[in-house]
């Protein structure tokens, strides 16, 4: 019985993965550190132009990509992309 328990624990230890949070941050930064996001941020200032429909769609796409990266923090099956 003890040997079976030790074997199970060894198998379980191998399955524990370390998530590379640094890579997650770099992926998010690559999405948000650009001129488009800066221009969208400027449009939030008072007395600035409104967002166009095209800009809104592009921003929604960006936000969905950021969400999919941050989703990997809590979802173990999705963490495969970010395992060290």
Q: pLDDT tens for residues 33-68?
A: 999 999 999 999 999 999 999 999 999 999 999 999
Whole-number Å distance between alpha carbons of 10 and 60: 44
Containing domain of residue 47, as a range? 2-82
Q: How many structural domains is the chain composed of? A: 1
Contact between 5 and 68 (Cβ < 8 Å): no
What's residue 75's pLDDT?
Answer: 87
66: part of which helix (H) or strand (E)? helix 53-71
Whole-number Å distance between alpha carbons of 41 and 45: 8
pLDDT category at 83 given cuts 50, 70, 90 is confident
Closest by CA to 69, choosing from 30, 17, 25, 18, is 25
Q: In the 8-state DSSP scheme, what is residue 18?
A: -
What's residue 3's pLDDT?
Answer: 54
């Amino acid at each position: 019985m003890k040997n079976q328990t030790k074997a199970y624990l060894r198998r379980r230890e191998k399955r524990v993965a370390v998530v590379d949070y640094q890579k997650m941050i770099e992926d998010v930064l690559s999405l948000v550190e650009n001129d488009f996001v800066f221009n969208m941020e400027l449009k939030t200032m008072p007395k600035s132009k409104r967002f166009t429909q095209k800009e809104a769609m592009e921003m929604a796409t960006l936000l969905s990509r950021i969400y999919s990266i941050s989703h990997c923090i809590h979802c173990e099956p999705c963490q495969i992309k970010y395992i060290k």
